Structure 1
């Protein structure tokens, strides 16, 4: 059983006393239990005392409430909360192993999640934050360290890119970490959990996960092209059905933004600690299904192909192709990202 969950008088008065409590595996930032309340299975989650715990709890509860507007559901229902203990009690959702084409159903559910909010919800969650000038510096320094000449004009392209992705208006409900493992596949569809990093912004920054290799996730994968196309089509259809509007076709900016972010090469606990792109020439490290160099090589390939036809980022396309060539030449044993989730 382990340590029992904090279940104070307020929650007991509302929901009763938990029974058949079992602690589940969770991230270092939270503790999670499965329990029963009057014979009904529930999940109890507590964000432990750590930096930004209060903010993460506030985001999670706010996002779950905003997402609860969506029907059929895309999140478990909130049954109760205890802000003082940073506890949320959720409906238990019976997860089943996803099928081979899981990413298609996932993408449709992600679009419906994104469509839960609109301009009237501005301020309900923090705005999504993209790459900054320091990320540009790190990426260009990495290119030079690998012996690649930076084409004239690329710095200006990247400055403009950072300005565009940071200034793009968007009111989609972004999960913040829409990874395999944070999606529960049920007989009634996909539901998302763990909204501690949720934000409002342009949904394309998370639609881009499918192409760029799930950048914030331990489970970095690259779906086969046919599945990728089907998943992106499912997202666009679900968004259109929910909002009556079209998703802009171009994902180049969103994918390029993820390429610049060295912090998207490590798990959350290690982000903001050092320049991870600067570490790559000297060492590689494993995280989940891939190494950092594998992740980088995949992202370079995606951006080089997409930016080649871009009016805004042609220099970045050439640079990404050259850096990918340098990475492959220096570390020829690097494997592609896995096509399937574990």
Structure 2
């Protein structure tokens, strides 16, 4: 039954019998319950059977074990697992509404999460994969479709950008989907949950979320520039304090990479199905708090601002500026993304 708690004999032997199971809201890819174990609240999560379920389960378990190195904790304690049923048992985390300037604490916790990864973790999780040449080509095709002139040197700029992102490497533990809602705000800081897309790579690909507008997430926000600066400074300072090094790679490249990815305009179940950038001229659709065209216009504005004086990306600056202007002229009712999370 869909409502039956998947708590087998092995988990019962290790953790005792669960009491008072209560279903919690979750994505279609998982089923989640709150239970009591020896009078202490815990969470039982089962990944629903289907394509990719075994891999997502393995990623989540590996990521939670790597992240458990952080002190204070940035993830719930992993109390038990049942690989055969794709079940995890986690400590329950009491959380509360985030503060107004939540992205500062979020960025600090994100750095602490990322810093738990070490070179010896290679192979425990897949390496992060960035935008492809196909993504770059789709982006330029969209620009031309909307009447934007693409200078001869721009395709080579984007090819070089894709190459830099592919070579960025890194061993940071990346959450994979560090969205509002996957961050639990507690008295002690931020705790992250739902690591089904975790990978190893360069942390700036996820620090970019706060500036580019949470590209893989249902909710998009645009923070004030001063708040963004505080969040990014908190990340860099925390990372250096923990690792002794400055973050490698380039935040501008990371944000530009998210701009190219049409799959970052739709929810996970629809990714990898069609060229979503090619749909923009004739279709708009809502996912979460904004429409696809709003998401794209916001990213164009961010990248245009970041690349204005950036050698090697000045052509992208011009295309981003002109494409955003073309979208505003074509769809004058296109509004800005929200300043605050729901």
Deviation at 1:4, TM superposition (A): 2.4
Deviation at 1:178, TM superposition (A): 0.3
Gaps of 5+ in 1: none
1:273 paired residue number: 273
Gaps of 5+ in 2: none
Asked if the contact 1:46/1:88 (under 8 Å) is kept, the reply is: yes
Deviation at 1:167, TM superposition (A): 1.3
Asked if the contact 2:168/2:249 (under 8 Å) is kept, the reply is: no
Asked if the contact 1:212/1:258 (under 8 Å) is kept, the reply is: yes
Does residue 54 of the first structure (1) align with residue 54 of the second (2)? yes
2:295 paired residue number: 295
**Secondary structure in 2 aligned to 1:177?**
coil
1:79 paired residue number: 79
TM score, norm. by length of structure 1: 0.98
**Secondary structure in 1 aligned to 2:84?**
coil
**Secondary structure in 2 aligned to 1:256?**
helix
2:192 paired residue number: 192
2:13 paired residue number: 13
Asked if the contact 1:2/1:22 (under 8 Å) is kept, the reply is: no
Deviation at 1:100, TM superposition (A): 0.3
Asked if the contact 1:43/1:91 (under 8 Å) is kept, the reply is: yes
Asked if the contact 1:2/1:23 (under 8 Å) is kept, the reply is: no
Q: 1:302-341 maps to which residues of 2 (within 5 A)? A: 302-341=302-341
Inter-partner Cα distance in structure 2 for 1:159 and 1:111? 29
Q: Deviations over 1:89-121 (max 9, x none)?
A: 000000100010111000000000000012121
Inter-partner Cα distance in structure 1 for 2:219 and 2:13? 40
Q: 1:1-342 maps to which residues of 2 (within 5 A)? A: 3-248=3-248, 250-342=250-342
Deviation at 1:247, TM superposition (A): 2.1
Alignment RMSD (CA, Å): 1.1
Asked if the contact 2:78/2:89 (under 8 Å) is kept, the reply is: yes
**Secondary structure in 2 aligned to 1:278?**
helix
Deviation at 1:249, TM superposition (A): 8.0
Q: Deviations over 1:254-293 (max 9, x none)?
A: 0110000000000001101111001111111111111100
Inter-partner Cα distance in structure 2 for 1:148 and 1:52? 39
Deviation at 1:250, TM superposition (A): 3.7
Inter-partner Cα distance in structure 1 for 2:201 and 2:250? 16
- Number of aligned positions between the proteins: 342
Asked if the contact 1:69/1:116 (under 8 Å) is kept, the reply is: yes
Inter-partner Cα distance in structure 2 for 1:250 and 1:8? 47
**Secondary structure in 2 aligned to 1:109?**
helix
Asked if the contact 1:4/1:21 (under 8 Å) is kept, the reply is: no
